[in-house]
Amino acid sequence: GWADYDLDGDLDLYIVNNGNNKNFLFTNKGGNLKNSACLSFTGNQSNAAAIGTKIYIKANVYGNDIWQYREIAAQTGGGVSAQNNLVQHIGLGNANVIDSLIILWPSGLIQTETNVAVDNCLSILEKGGTTISGIAFNDLNGNCQIDNGEAVLSNMEITIEPGGQRVYTDQNGLYQITLPRGKYTIAQNNSTNWMSNCGGSPQIHEVEITNRSRNQILSGFNFSNISTGLCNSSDLSVTGATTALRVGFASMLAIKVENNGTLPGTNVELVVDFGSDILPTSSTIPWTSNIGTVYRWSLADIAIGESYTIYVSTMIDANATIGDTTRVGLAIGSLEKDCDLSDNIFEETGILVGAIDPNDILVSPEGTITSDEVLQYKIRFQNVGNTAVKRVVIKDELPNTLDLSTLELGSASHSFRFHIEDDRTLIWEFENINLPDSTTNELASNGFVSFRIKPASNLANGTAINNHGVIYFDFSEAVNTNIVQNIIEDELPGKGGTLNIFPNPAYKQANFSINPRDLSLKQVEIQSIAIFNSLGQLVHEARGLEQFRYQINDLQLTSGYYVVKVLGVDNNEYTGRMIVQ
């Protein structure tokens, strides 16, 4: 059997003889010993000895990316009397780090480690073990139990300690996370409109996972919620994201709609202006009507806590110009009051491309931003291999220059499980995605995730915000995306506020005013206004106003998406977006 008997980093040989024959130990004196690593494995869902585990190791050895393979097996000593040590030893030549370590556990779990240090022994515990799950819901009768007719709540953040892991409830109000043996405290973080409450106190669950509960699914760790009282109506929101916009090719727009309010949204209307270069061809929920590039969905009611995604298949105009910027404007509204109109309108921007790097990260706006702007990130992926992919994992370790408390998940191309590890690492898991390769089905081989987040507070002018993602396809090596960068450059302190447009979407009338950023400041008068359509053409202009509110009573604009630019008497420009129905 082979083992590192003297713990000097190389393998020694022990030979066992039967009968009265002596056994022999041959020690390896090292000689020309290079870098190496030793890895020991402990199963959690799998058997404790990790028998049957397959390990793929990638490192750059003498300038070449080299993959090595190991498998932990029983009876590997050449006979019934011997067994190799289960610790795996890997020679690495001049490599200073293991770039990718992919572990296929017997349970079926695929675990990936990156940037593993060499010349030491690493103990690796199989992640997961027991799945904990529960539901967040609106506890109408206050009995701390979910009953028929009580709405489930999506996008509620659940925290697991120790470890600082976070998961979010899905469209069914369900959260779930797989944890190894240990004791845990599970709590819900309150949102703006909902707070955990059972008998007058927040619910907290204490969970202990033992050997007896290993590999089980433990459910019922629910969170009953009541309204915080800050919102007594619906709170509709919409986001959208597209796959790559390749000229002459098919694409897809995913539209996520949700109601985070405390009352249902009734007679909900969704309006989308696709612009001149994107042609919708079909939708998982058919649109009700369209005029030119503007498409309308009558969505009826959206229940309390309800969230779902509409997938729209599109075609990019073959005559469009590569390099042009496209803008898709989305707006959602109903006849009732909405608690927060700021998230009822959304703009998805994209660049028309030819050939592209299919695995990348995008940010909008690009370049220089102010410290209070919201950044919209999108991580795109595509299977450019030669066979279907069963599982995709995306990781994004957020820099400290982003405020994690402002994170909002956006639309995605496929259903996923999401959680946060190590305080700041966002993880999307697409299990059983069955993503075809690009030669079999080019459109279906694409996917993406998206999210919104604000910069951290008190960042100095000139601070760089760098972000990138890592994409894993089955057990292939990790794919690192490009790095996107924003630079903080706050506007002069004299700027008085933000542009308010009401109603939005607009029909025959629209009102414009500058809302003070600080209520203690005097409202800024409007000096001039200019409205541009989705092609950038000026369609309305007024000058010499010097008034606090500008109103258009007979809105002579066709249905579509518009950018509004207002100049205040403080000589600052204020920009907003408007949908005209």
Instruction: Return mean pLDDT, the chain.
Output: 86
Q: What is the model's pLDDT at position 107?
A: 73
Instruction: Say whether pLDDT at 520 is over 80.
Output: no
String of DSSP letters for 427-456: EEEETT--B--TTT-TTTTEEEEEEEEEEP
- Peptide bond connecting 162 to the previous residue in cis, omega within 30 degrees of 0: yes
Q: What is the model's pLDDT at position 124?
A: 85
Bridge partners for 532 per DSSP: 538, 563
Q: What is the model's pLDDT at position 559?
A: 75
Overall fold of domain 130-227: Immunoglobulin-like (2.60.40)
Residue, of 522 and 199, whose pLDDT is higher: 199
Instruction: Say whether pLDDT at 357 is over 90.
Output: no
How far is C-alpha 246 from the chain's CA centre? 23
Tokens 């073990």 correspond to 129
- Cβ pair 238, 343 in contact under 8 A: yes
Structure tokens at 346: 């959304």
Residue 266: which of 210, 220, 335, 207 has the closest Cα?
335
Bridge partners for 64 per DSSP: 61
| Cα dihedral across residues 260, 171, 437, 100: positive or negative | positive
Residue, of 210 and 268, whose pLDDT is higher: 268
Residue, of 196 and 130, whose pLDDT is higher: 196
In this prediction, what percent of the chain has a pLDDT beyond 90?
A: 40
Q: Mark out the alpha helices in 165-213 (DSSP H runs).
A: none
Instruction: Say whether pLDDT at 358 is over 70.
Output: yes
- Cβ pair 581, 574 in contact under 8 A: no
Residue 91: which of 61, 123, 50 has the closest Cα?
61
Cα–Cα distance for residue pair 504/513, rounded to 1 Å: 13
The reply to whether 497-580 shares the fold of 130-227 is: yes
Region 246-262: mean pLDDT is 93
Binned at pLDDT 50, 70 and 90, residue 215 comes out as low
Q: What is the 3-state secondary structure (H, E, C) of 96-137?
A: CEEEEEEEECCCCCEEEEEEEECCCEEEEECCCCEEEEEEEE
Q: What is the model's pLDDT at position 577?
A: 82
Q: What is the model's pLDDT at position 518?
A: 58
Cα–Cα distance for residue pair 277/537, rounded to 1 Å: 16
The C-alpha R_g of the chain, in whole angstroms, comes to: 28
What is the identity of the amino acid at 120?
N
**CB neighbours of 546 closer than 8 A, spacing ≥ 6?**
525, 526, 527, 569
Cα–Cα distance for residue pair 188/388, rounded to 1 Å: 37
Structure tokens at 524: 């800024």
Structure tokens at 316: 């990019």
Mapping DSSP to helix (H, G, I), strand (E, B) and coil, where does residue 76 land?
coil
Measure CA of the first residue to CA of the last residue in the chain; give whole Å.
Answer: 77
Instruction: Say whether pLDDT at 133 is over 80.
Output: yes
Overall fold of domain 357-490: Immunoglobulin-like (2.60.40)
Cα–Cα distance for residue pair 133/258, rounded to 1 Å: 22
pTM value surpassing 0.85 = no
Q: What is the model's pLDDT at position 494?
A: 45
Cα–Cα distance for residue pair 433/419, rounded to 1 Å: 18
Q: Give the range among 60-69, 186-195, 309-318 with minimum mean pLDDT.
A: 60-69
Domain spans in the chain, listed from the N-terminal domain onward:
2-125, 130-227, 357-490, 497-580
Instruction: Say whether pLDDT at 408 is over 70.
Output: yes
| Cα dihedral across residues 44, 46, 51, 52: positive or negative | negative
CATH code of domain 497-580: 2.60.40.3080
Residue 307: which of 251, 239, 243 has the closest Cα?
239
325-333 β-sheet, strand order: 289-291, 294-302, 265-273, 325-333, 345-351
Number of H helices, E strands in the chain: 0, 47
- Cβ pair 59, 96 in contact under 8 A: no
Residue 361: which of 315, 395, 327 has the closest Cα?
395
Binned at pLDDT 50, 70 and 90, residue 493 comes out as very low
- 273-290 burial code (b ≥16 CB/10 A, e <16): bbbebbebeebebebeee
Relative to beta strand 470-473, strand 479-480 is antiparallel
| Ramachandran angles phi, psi of 343, nearest 5° | -105, 20
Q: What is the model's pLDDT at position 262?
A: 92
Cα–Cα distance for residue pair 135/117, rounded to 1 Å: 40
Instruction: Say whether pLDDT at 565 is over 60.
Output: yes
Instruction: Say whether pLDDT at 53 is over 60.
Output: yes
Torsion of CA 185, 187, 189, 190, to 10 degrees: -150
Region 361-377: mean pLDDT is 89
Residue, of 554 and 247, whose pLDDT is higher: 247
Q: Give the range among 93-97, 245-249, 310-314, 556-560 with minimum mean pLDDT.
A: 556-560
Binned at pLDDT 50, 70 and 90, residue 279 comes out as very high
Region 262-286: mean pLDDT is 93
Cα–Cα distance for residue pair 169/175, rounded to 1 Å: 4
